[in-house]
């Protein structure tokens, strides 16, 4: 019998490398273990915050104080909830098959950027006294705010585009460690300076609101500093825990300060006596 033992061999195979046996960590790399549980936690917290906001909005409507700044806060809260939801869908899918779909997390990050941009503009507008001390902001002021918001949102759009489409997936660099991330950090610090300057000018013009603005400035300045704090902390955190910690800090800063401002809007809250809106509305 004539046999050919040196012919070509056609073999197909599939290797599956896992990191444990549990659903929550089987397909996750060491630096991502725990991220799905983190996102589940924030989805629950953001859902509770939505419920609280709707309650506060109902109270404000009953006294005709449902101003545009209230609607902006609501938009920021809902956008953050959608961000959590899309990102969580990706991680649940990833936990199931080890692949997920990066499109979900990309869309989630875009919602996050929209939420933060709306929140930042809201803080600057309130810092300028809109709906608190005055009905309108000057045309020049509105143009400046629009330009800043546009630049900030475009920069935010560039960060996930670069990170998820062109970044090295094996890298342990955090989400903001890119040229676009550092530009966003610079814009956040610029926004902080603008915010503090706007609040100071408003207090000089409307001294009756000084008690509110002192609390408002001290509290919300910390949100502006959140991104620089994370950037500094990231360099000191070990690579295998960096992603999880920065991700948790990122969402914590937004959730906490959305909650604080929502409480300030509550007409039944202790802080609201120092936070009278300028006028009533038709809503």
- CATH 2.60.120 at 30-263, yes or no: no
Model confidence over 136-184: pLDDT tens digits? 888 898 999 999 999 999 999 998 888 887 776 666 567 787 788 889 9
pLDDT per position as a tens digit, 30-70: 677 778 899 999 999 999 999 999 999 999 998 888 888 99
Average pLDDT over residues 77-84: 97
User: CB under 8 Å to 150, separation ≥6 — which residues?
Assistant: none
129, 114, 248, 104: CA torsion to nearest 10: 170
Q: Is the pLDDT score of 276 beyond 70?
A: no
DSSP 8-state secondary structure symbol assigned to residue 174: -
Higher per-residue confidence, 28 vs 131: 131
Q: Which SS3 state, helix, strand or coil, does residue 231 take?
A: helix
């Amino acid at each position: 019998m004539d046999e050919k033992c040196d012919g070509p061999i056609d073999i197909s195979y599939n290797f599956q490398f896992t990191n444990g046996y549990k659903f929550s960590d089987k397909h996750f790399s060491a630096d991502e273990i725990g991220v799905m549980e983190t996102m589940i936690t924030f989805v629950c917290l953001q859902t509770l915050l939505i419920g609280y906001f709707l309650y506060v909005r109902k109270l404000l409507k009953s006294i005709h104080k449902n101003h545009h700044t209230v609607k902006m806060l609501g938009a920021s809260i809902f956008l953050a909830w959608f961000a959590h939801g899309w990102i969580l869908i990706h991680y649940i899918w990833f936990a199931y098959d080890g692949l997920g779909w990066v499109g979900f997390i990309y869309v989630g990050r875009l919602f996050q950027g929209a939420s933060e941009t709306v929140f930042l503009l809201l803080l600057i507008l309130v810092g300028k006294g809109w709906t608190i001390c005055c009905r309108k902001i000057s045309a020049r002021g509105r143009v400046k705010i629009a330009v800043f918001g546009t630049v900030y949102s475009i920069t935010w759009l560039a960060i996930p585009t670069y990170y998820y489409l062109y970044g090295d997936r094996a890298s342990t660099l955090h989400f903001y460690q890119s040229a676009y991330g550092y530009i966003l950090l610079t814009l956040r610090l610029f926004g902080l300076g603008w915010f503090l300057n706007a609040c100071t000018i408003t207090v000089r013009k409307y001294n009756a609101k000084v008690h509110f603005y002192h609390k408002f400035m001290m509290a919300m300045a910390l949100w502006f500093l959140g991104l620089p704090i994370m950037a500094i902390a990231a360099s000191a955190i070990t690579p295998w825990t960096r992603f999880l910690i920065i991700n948790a800090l990122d969402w914590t800063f937004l959730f906490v300060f959305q909650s604080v401002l929502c409480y300030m809007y509550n007409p039944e809250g202790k802080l609201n006596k120092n936070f009278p809106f300028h006028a009533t509305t038709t809503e």
